[in-house]
Structure formats: C-alpha cells, structure tokens
C-alpha cells in the first residue's frame, strides 16, 4: 500500500528521484511523474498497463512555463487558457523537442493543462519539471476521484499518494485541439461546450473511434466497471432481479431495493451528477450484483460528458 498524506515536500522528493506519485486535481486523481524523463514516462505506461499509442497530458502551473513545452499558442488557445486555467481544460498544442516522443505517442502536438487544485499547484510550483499524469487507474477502468480509489488499484506500485480529498468536478478535463485553426473537442469533459463556445464561438466535435491511433483518447470501451454494464432509458430496463444494480439520474425506481440503486443527483443537478458519477459506479461495481443498468442524464452542459462516459462504460469494443 502507498503512503497517503498531504506532505508536498515528500511528494516532491519521490518525484525528483524518478518515482511516481498519485496527485489530486479538480477533475480526477492523476498518476504523476517527470514528463521530461523518458524512463519515468515509460514507467507510467507500465504502471497503468496503458498501450503506448495513448498519449499523456502534461501538467504545469503557469502559462509562462508553457513556453518551454509548446512552440506556438494560437489566439483561441490563449483566450481559453486565460478564461479557464487553472481548470478542467486540456489544450493540444504543437510540441517542443523537450517533450519526449513517448509522452505524445509520436504525435507532434502535446496535451497540456493547468489543474485547479491547491496542493497540486503548490507541488508543481516547487518542481523544476512538468508532470505527465494520466488518470490514476488501470487502463480502461473507472477514473479515481479520491486517494483511496488510487490506493485500492495502484497502491502496491507507487510510494506516495498526495491526499487532496474528493475531486470537486469528478470527470476528466475537456480536451480541445485546433484543426486548421478551428477549436475542436477531442474529449468531452468537466468544462461544458456551452462555456467554451461563449469564449471562442462554435467548436467542432471529433467523432469517436474505437481503435484509431490518429484519434487517441477516443477509445470506445473505457471507464468500464468489471460487471456487465448496460445503458438505456429506464422504461427499457429488463424485469428487476434482486441482484441487479442501477445507476440513475435523479429518482429511484419504485419497487426496487433502494440499496441497489444509486441516484447521481436527487435535485437533477448535472454538476452534482458528474461529481458522483465515478464514485457511484465503483460502489455498484463493489456490491455483489450480476449486472448494472444505467440511464442517460439530460444531454446538456456537463450532461454531455456524463453520457459520453456512460456510453463508453457500456461499449463492448
Ligand atoms: O482531467 C484530466 O484530464 C486527468 C487529470 C489527471 O488531469 N487526466 C486524464 O488523463 O484524464 P488520461 O491520460 O486518462 O487521458 C488523457 C487523454 C487520453 O485519452 C489521450 O489519448 C488524450 O488525452 N491525449 C493526450 N495527448 C493527446 C494528443 N496529443 N492528441 C490527442 N489526444 C491526446
Ligand atoms: Mg484516463
């Protein structure tokens, strides 16, 4: 098991020695290591069991430091960074050669973000290198939203987890790239499209792909619980059996044991639903159930990113 604590100095020491540390962010916990050290980056892929064609996000604490990592910041990217950083936004920008090719899986853009968590920002300020950090879960499983989730799955493999409590937002950052100058969403996430469009106008949405390495991060089957998981409207759920579990938006289904039902937000609040999504999926996955049935949430704002996660959790390939 890893040590879990709030000691930034200790976290820094492990990272300087080339080891990996679990770090809190406002979205999900990350599995962090020195982004400029190829050996360390390789160990991130190994620790997560992640295929090398799926590139990592590089985390830093200021736009000034970004100029060491990227060769160009288009106007739209700069505007977005000024409005939403620190925050749940990742930008794909042309990389400098200081970033190992392993980080970007050979692509010429690097994913960068300034996360909004006080402990991690302080840690990043104390380090003289940026942190590569994928979500701190084994590849394909549900992302962790507290230090215990990280410990349960990767605790044997890493020395330290910086405990920043529960992640406020609860789903990963929104990823935006620029194709012929047009802001394009590569992954829906914790920053709603509506908010992005209020700053840069209409954005394009990249289509999902199951296995195309040109569009990494878009693997269909992802965020998946271990149990069979199905997504459909509640009127289409099969006849209840007492070992079925349910992940529901805002109200219980009458006549079904409440302990098998998780309500993402009793008031129908999409922020609250995003915050609870992964923790509730994990909780259902840990009960002795044979199947989990989920219903989509309202498809606006953060609801789009929630539905994206639910679809991918239910995907078979
Ligand atoms: O909220 C988050 O973004 C969290 C926290 C820890 O910051 N991180 C996260 O990392 O979700 P990860 O590795 O689980 O997801 C990063 C996604 C991957 O799907 C990857 O394919 C995509 O970002 N990505 C990274 N670099 C890319 C690039 N150059 N082009 C396209 N997609 C990229
Ligand atoms: Mg991930």
Give the pLDDT mean for 247-269. 97
Six-digit token string for 271: 């922020």
- Name the one residue in this structure whose structure tokens are 């104390």: 126
Asked if residue 54 has its Cβ within 6 Å of ligand 1, the reply is yes
Strands 30-34 and 21-23: antiparallel
Distance (Å, whole) CA 7 – CA 23: 11
Q: Strand (E) positions, the chain? A: 3-5, 21-23, 30-34, 57-59, 89-94, 109-113, 131-132, 160-162, 174-179, 182-187, 204-205, 229-231, 244-248, 261-263, 291-294
pLDDT at 223: 85
Asked if residue 111 has its Cβ within 6 Å of ligand 1, the reply is yes
The pTM assigned to this predicted structure is: 0.96
Q: Which ligand is nearest to the CA of 91?
A: 1
Q: Which ligand is nearest to the CA of 178?
A: 1
Give the pLDDT mean for 261-284. 98
Distance (Å, whole) CA 65 – CA 70: 9
Could you report the per-residue pLDDT of 201-234, keeping only the tens digit for each? 999 999 765 444 444 556 677 888 999 999 999 9
Which of 29, 164, 216 has the most ligand 1 atoms within 8 A of CB, as the residue to mutate?
A: 216
pLDDT at 156: 98
pLDDT at 213: 47
Share above pLDDT 70 across residues of the chain, in percent, rounded to a whole number = 96
pLDDT at 107: 97
What is the pLDDT confidence band of residue 55, given thresholds at 50, 70 and 90?
A: very high
Which of 135, 169, 176, 309 has the most ligand 1 atoms within 8 A of CB, as the residue to mutate?
A: 135
Asked if residue 22 has its Cβ within 6 Å of ligand 1, the reply is no
Half-sphere exposure of 229 (CA within 13 A, CB side): 27
- Name the one residue in this structure whose structure tokens are 């910086």: 162
Could you report the per-residue pLDDT of 82-138, keeping only the tens digit for each? 999 999 999 999 999 999 999 999 999 999 999 999 999 999 999 999 999 999 999
Per-chain mean pLDDT for the chain: 95
Asked if residue 305 has its Cβ within 6 Å of ligand 1, the reply is no
pLDDT at 169: 98
pLDDT at 317: 65
Distance (Å, whole) CA 111 – CA 124: 17
Looking from the CA of residue 218, the nearest atom of ligand 1 is 19
Looking from the CA of residue 190, the nearest atom of ligand 1 is 1
Q: Are 53 and 100 in contact (CB under 8 A)?
A: no
């Amino acid at each position: 098991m890893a040590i879990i604590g709030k000691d930034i100095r200790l976290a820094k020491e492990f990272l300087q020695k080339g080891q990996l540390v679990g770090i809190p962010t406002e979205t999900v916990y990350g599995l962090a290591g020195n982004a400029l050290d190829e050996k360390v980056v390789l160990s991130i892929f190994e620790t997560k069991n992640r295929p090398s064609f799926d590139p990592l996000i590089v985390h830093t604490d200021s736009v000034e430091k970004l100029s060491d990592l990227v060769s160009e910041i288009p106007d739209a990217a700069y505007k977005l960074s000024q409005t939403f950083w620190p925050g749940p936004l990742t930008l794909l920008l042309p990389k400098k050669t200081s970033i190992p090719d392993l980080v970007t899986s050979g692509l010429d853009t690097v994913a960068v973000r300034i996360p909004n968590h006080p402990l991690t920002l302080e840690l990043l300020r104390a380090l003289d290198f940026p942190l590569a950090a994928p979500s701190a879960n084994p590849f394909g499983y549900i992302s962790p939203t507290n230090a215990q989730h990280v410990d349960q799955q990767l605790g044997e493999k890493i020395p330290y987890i910086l405990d920043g409590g529960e992640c406020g937002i609860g789903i990963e950052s929104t990823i935006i790239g620029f194709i012929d100058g047009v802001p394009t969403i590569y992954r829906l996430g914790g920053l709603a499209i509506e908010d992005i469009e209020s700053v840069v106008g209409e954005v394009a949405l990249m289509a999902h792909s199951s296995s195309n390495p040109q569009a990494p991060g878009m693997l269909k089957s992802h965020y998946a619980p271990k149990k069979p998981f199905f997504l459909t409207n509640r009127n289409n759920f099969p006849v209840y059996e007492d070992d079925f579990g349910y992940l529901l938006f805002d109200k219980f289904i009458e006549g079904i044991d409440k302990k098998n039902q998780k309500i993402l937000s009793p008031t129908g609040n999409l922020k609250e639903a995003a915050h609870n999504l992964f923790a509730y999926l994990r909780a259902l996955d840990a009960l002795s159930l044979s199947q989990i049935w989920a219903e989509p949430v309202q498809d606006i704002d953060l609801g789009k990113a929630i539905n994206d996660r639910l679809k991918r959790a239910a995907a078979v390939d």
